[in-house]
Amino acid sequence: MSTDTNGWVVVAGRRDMLNIEEGQILRVKCTKIHPDFSHKATMLLHDIGLIWLDGTFNWSDSIQPAKLSKTWSIVSRPWVQTVEKFVVTTIGWGRLSHQGALPNILRQVEQTLSTEDHCLRTLQSEEAESLYNPIMFCTDDKGKEACNGDSGGPVIYDGEVVGIVSHGYGSKRGCEHATGWKMKVPFYYKWIQEEVKQGERLKLFAPVNYA
């Protein structure tokens, strides 16, 4: 756990970056990166972290707690293996194209989950393929992909956060032509809950009432 937060803050409830009167701001108290995080062969594994805030947000119409998915509910098996299309919504502040401008307005895009076989074929090297782990899933909608600045953003399905944007892979033409890799939230649900309880024990924050 690190308290070196470099003056970071979290802004909630602001859809327009230029509207400084919109939303609420809290200082970041400390952070923690997943202990198994690694970066090998352009693949990021266990690419997830947590932040603790110095205070709590006031819930409103524009600020609500996100519901984390406990199970991979998109299909009964651990990956999409059927021809049926499962569409998720990816949300973020990332660039609108490779080396393009950053938006002022929060963006979202609908994406179709790819099959495990398709995701593996996009890895393009034996080393990268050997690092594949079912903690991840991918989307491969050309022209509709997360980009620089979207990492850490939510991937939503049926009202729940099922994924976290990680990285793109496989195209020198930019992120809009790459395969997008996301971390599966259900795989980390237990770890998140354990860290939250640890934070409460260390009095990093007060227990939150989600009612």
For residue 134, tell me if it sits in a domain. Answer: yes
What does the alpha-carbon distance between residue 23 and residue 12 come to, in Å, rounded to a whole number?
Answer: 5
Q: Which of 150, 211, 164 is nearest to 69 (CA)?
A: 164
For residue 101, tell me if it sits in a domain. Answer: yes
Collapsed DSSP state (helix, strand, coil) of residue 62: coil
Q: What is the CATH number of the domain that holds 164?
A: 2.40.10.10
What total of structural domains would you count in the chain? 1
pLDDT in tens, 154-190: 999 989 999 999 987 765 556 767 788 899 999 999 9
What domain range includes position 130?
9-201
pLDDT in tens, 38-66: 987 677 889 999 999 999 999 999 999 99
Collapsed DSSP state (helix, strand, coil) of residue 11: strand
Q: Which of 82, 81, 103, 84 is nearest to 93 (CA)?
A: 103
For residue 2, tell me if it sits in a domain. Answer: no
What does the alpha-carbon distance between residue 92 and residue 66 come to, in Å, rounded to a whole number?
Answer: 15
What is the residue-wise DSSP string for 150-211? -TT-EEEETTEEEEEEEEEES-TT-GGGSEEEEEEHHHHHHHHHHHHHHHHHTTSSPPP---
Look at residue 75 in the predicted model and tell me its pLDDT.
47
For residue 45, tell me if it sits in a domain. Answer: yes
pTM as predicted: 0.84
For residue 50, tell me if it sits in a domain. Answer: yes
For residue 4, tell me if it sits in a domain. Answer: no
Collapsed DSSP state (helix, strand, coil) of residue 10: strand
What does the alpha-carbon distance between residue 208 and residue 184 come to, in Å, rounded to a whole number?
Answer: 24
For residue 139, tell me if it sits in a domain. Answer: yes
Structure tokens at 20: 């400084």
For residue 209, tell me if it sits in a domain. Answer: no
